[in-house]
Amino acid sequence: MKTKKLIIFSDFDGTFTSRDVGNRVFTHFSDGRNKPLVEDWKRGLITSRECLRREAELVRVTPQEFYALLEDFELRPGAVDLYRLSRIEEIPFYIVSDGTDLYIEHILKKFNLKEIPYYCNHGILEKGGLKLEFPYENNGCIRCGSCKGERIREIVGGDREGREVVFIGDGLSDICALPEADIVFARGDLLDYCRNRNVAAIEYQDFYDILKWLKDSGRIAG
């Protein structure tokens, strides 16, 4: 039996990072006026794309203020170690996010990880505010800005049968990735969602938990 090759996909906000960067940006620079929008999104009353666009319209920020806030954010423990081991093991590693490239690019560069490929929405700082664009088509998904399930399907492509897809997430914006993953690592709202719907998921607190599981299961070298 041919062994499937691993491919790893990670959410960014609150997963690869220790805290949700996007939510902090929107909340801080809108003086909290975004909170009702987030609650409407969680209840399914508006789509992620609508929520994000309307949150961005509330933001008042200069580039200097925006990037100064990003200095407060750290990566989740073990994130760098898992990524670096994936490089050694020649395991493809991607970030898929419904967040914004403005902060993803900045934070990855800060931690010398700018080579990690990422897929997300596009942000523009202009006229004292923030504008969002959605460069990716979602092929029928009306829930997301950049659908993680769609991104996984596009990246894996015709090699799906030969790949064992690992997905790491923490929130409700990760739901569309679940059907595309063979192994799901979940925490926070995503873990609750999986448990409530009997979706198989492995709980983690940090990326060292994921590293240990992958080593113990023989999927990567110990």
In order, the DSSP letters of 75-124 are BPTTHHHHHHHHHHTT--EEEEEEEEHHHHHHHHHHTT-TTS-EEEEEEE
| 103 belongs to a structural domain | yes
| 48 belongs to a structural domain | no
Q: How many domains does the chain have?
A: 1
pLDDT for 13-34, tens place per residue?
999 999 999 999 999 999 999 9
pLDDT for 90-144, tens place per residue?
999 999 999 999 999 999 999 999 999 999 999 999 999 999 999 988 887 878 8
| 120 belongs to a structural domain | yes
Strand arrangement of the beta sheet that strand 129-133 belongs to: 129-133, 118-126, 93-100, 5-10, 163-169, 183-186, 202-203
Query: Which structure tokens are listed for 164?
Result: 């064992």
Q: Say if residue 2's pLDDT is above 70.
A: no
| 61 belongs to a structural domain | no
* CA separation for the pair 65, 68 (Å, rounded): 5
Per-residue pLDDT averaged across 65-90, rounded? 96
Global pTM value? 0.95
| 37 belongs to a structural domain | no
* CA separation for the pair 137, 149 (Å, rounded): 12
Percent of the chain at pLDDT exceeding 90: 85
| 180 belongs to a structural domain | yes
Q: Say if residue 1's pLDDT is above 50.
A: no
**CATH code of the domain containing 101:** 3.40.50.1000
> What is residue 206's DSSP assignment?
S
pLDDT for 38-62, tens place per residue?
999 989 899 888 999 999 999 999 9
| 46 belongs to a structural domain | no
Which domain, by its residues, includes 152? 5-19+74-125+135-216
Query: 220 falls in which pLDDT band (50, 70, 90)?
Result: confident
pLDDT averaged over the chain?
Answer: 94
| 114 belongs to a structural domain | yes
Q: What is the pLDDT of residue 136?
A: 87
Beta carbons of 66 and 24 less than 8 angstroms apart: no
